[in-house]
Amino acid sequence: MYFLRRTGMPAHSNTTAGRRYALWVSDKDDDGKPIDPQFIEAAYALEPTLFAYRRREIGCRSTTAELIQDSVNAASRASHSEPIHNPRAYLLITFMRKVDAYLAKSSREIPCTDEFIEHLKARQRDRDSDIEALERPVLIHQVKSHMDAWTRKVCNVKTLGFSMEEIARDFGEPTNRVNVRFSRGMARARRLLKI
């Protein structure tokens, strides 16, 4: 394995405070195949340039190190099929493409906290209740427009909070008769609305 002479730390580990993050490139790819040594040497030679490319957008040196390793792996695979005459330039171009693709992908992902998700759920519930509040009067108006006058009058008094006993007493009729008439009137309105 190739180690950087300064620390020998792997690319994904943290260094101690005050020490510079050191690049470490594996000599085998993800499949365990050996990597062309010219690309490992190119990675160490280009280390400052690679870490400087879009540094602020990436924001993390360990992510940059992983992208460097992926670029070295890709360049090595490409060299198996066709010889590459300038490994530094090829590695730099491969790395820049990988970083650009990584940033394009990560910009579509929006990190959010649980509070934000709960806020969205609450907003959705509020929106649903707002829609219900708008639709309910329209539906009630449609239903009432299909009722006969007596059923509409009973319905209006019932929505004001009066019980069927109180409504029956006001109309001077037995409670059972008012209940039956009201149920039949509502059933007729439902049939006409096809609910």
pLDDT tens readout for residues 140-188? 788 888 889 999 899 888 888 889 999 999 989 999 999 999 999 888 8
Together in a domain, 15 and 69: yes
Domain boundaries, position 185: 115-193
Model confidence pLDDT, tens digit, residues 2-39: 443 333 444 444 444 434 567 888 888 888 888 889 99
Domain boundary (111, 146, 168) is at 111
Together in a domain, 140 and 90: no
Instruction: Dig out the tokens for 101 from the structure.
Output: 């693709």
Residues with Cβ within 8 Å of residue 110, at least 6 apart in sequence: none
pTM to 2 decimals? 0.47
**Nearest partner of 140 among 157, 152, 127, judged by Cα:** 152
d(CA 84, CA 41): 14
Domain boundary (61, 83, 111) is at 111
Together in a domain, 18 and 82: yes
CATH number at residue 127: 1.10.10
Q: Is 75 helix (H, G, I), strand (E, B) or coil?
A: helix
Together in a domain, 43 and 55: yes
Mean confidence (pLDDT) of the chain:
80
Number of domains in the chain: 2
Predicted pLDDT at 9: 41
